[in-house]
Amino acid sequence: MTDTFELFATTRTDLGKGASRRLRRKGAMPAVIYGAGETPESLTLAHKDVRKACENEAFFSHILTVHVDGKQHKAVVKDMQRHPYKPIIMHMDLLRINMNKVMTMHIPLHFEGGEHAVGVKNGGMVHQLISTVEISCLPSHLPEYVSVDISHLDLNDMVHLSDLKLPEGVSLVELAGDEKNDLAVVHITIERVKEETEAVEGAEEGAEGTEGSSTEE
């Protein structure tokens, strides 16, 4: 992981919906940090700092350093509530991480080589069936994302979870002891509309050929 993220927070004692509204009017936002056997703490964060961090996809799959009144916590974003139509983050949950214990987390898949895929060159379309996977690893092994090379896929080929190349020390939670969860991640197929259009055009051409070859007795 090359990116690093730091958040600076203060503890919050004024709780409730009214207090949260007052925070947002001042350009701040409420949050909570919990986990790792420590007492949950209500926090206040600068909204502009969090919003800027959210512009980077890596923010959601990294170990963050959260400074709370001079004390540092290692944490990840566990949940985030956004306003339904305004560009406002309403609340954020941060989960403390024990750097010596295995953690689970959802991380994104990055699909690479689609424009060069054999199946695409043969007229197919790439269908991404899964965009994130849940992994298990030590915090120090947490990847920013998992790359999925699809340049070798031909028509009707697909990649399953078990085909993903994971970094050392990282495993997929979905595949833990159950092969039935080996879901398809991506595949390349001919669009049904295109197939139907070609079939209709072929039938029409055949009909025209038949009409053209008929003779009167």
Q: Are 137 and 100 in contact (CB under 8 A)?
A: no
Q: Each residue of 158-212: pLDDT tens digit?
A: 999 999 999 999 999 999 866 778 999 999 998 764 545 554 455 555 555 555 5
Q: How far is CA 118 from the centre of its chain?
A: 26
C-alpha 41/C-alpha 43 separation (Å) is 6
Q: Which residue has 């690893």 as its token pair?
A: 137
- Would you kindly state where each structural domain of the chain is located, as residue ranges? 6-98, 104-194
Average pLDDT, the chain: 87
pLDDT at 77 over 90: yes
For residues 83-112, give the mean pLDDT.
94
Q: How far is CA 198 from the centre of its chain?
A: 36
pLDDT at 216 over 50: no
DSSP-assigned beta bridge partners for residue 207? none
pLDDT tier, 109 (very low <50, low <70, confident <90, very high otherwise): very high
pLDDT at 11 over 60: yes
Which is nearest to 41 in space by CA: 63, 69, 22?
69
For residues 146-157, give the mean pLDDT.
94
C-alpha 142/C-alpha 166 separation (Å) is 11
Q: Are 29 and 47 in contact (CB under 8 A)?
A: yes
- 196 vs 127, higher pLDDT: 127
pTM: 0.77
- 39 vs 4, higher pLDDT: 39
**CA-CA-CA-CA torsion sign (60, 64, 70, 71):** positive
What CATH class is the domain 6-98?
mainly beta
Tell me, what's the pLDDT at 161? 95
Q: Which residue has 């987390």 as its token pair?
A: 105
Q: Percentage of residues in the chain with pLDDT exceeding 70?
A: 85
CATH topology assigned to domain 104-194: RNA Polymerase Alpha Subunit; Chain A, domain 2 (2.170.120)
- 111 vs 14, higher pLDDT: 111
Which is nearest to 104 in space by CA: 65, 141, 50?
141
Q: Each residue of 36-64: pLDDT tens digit?
A: 989 999 999 999 999 999 999 999 999 99
Phi/psi for 183 (5° steps) reads: -75, 155
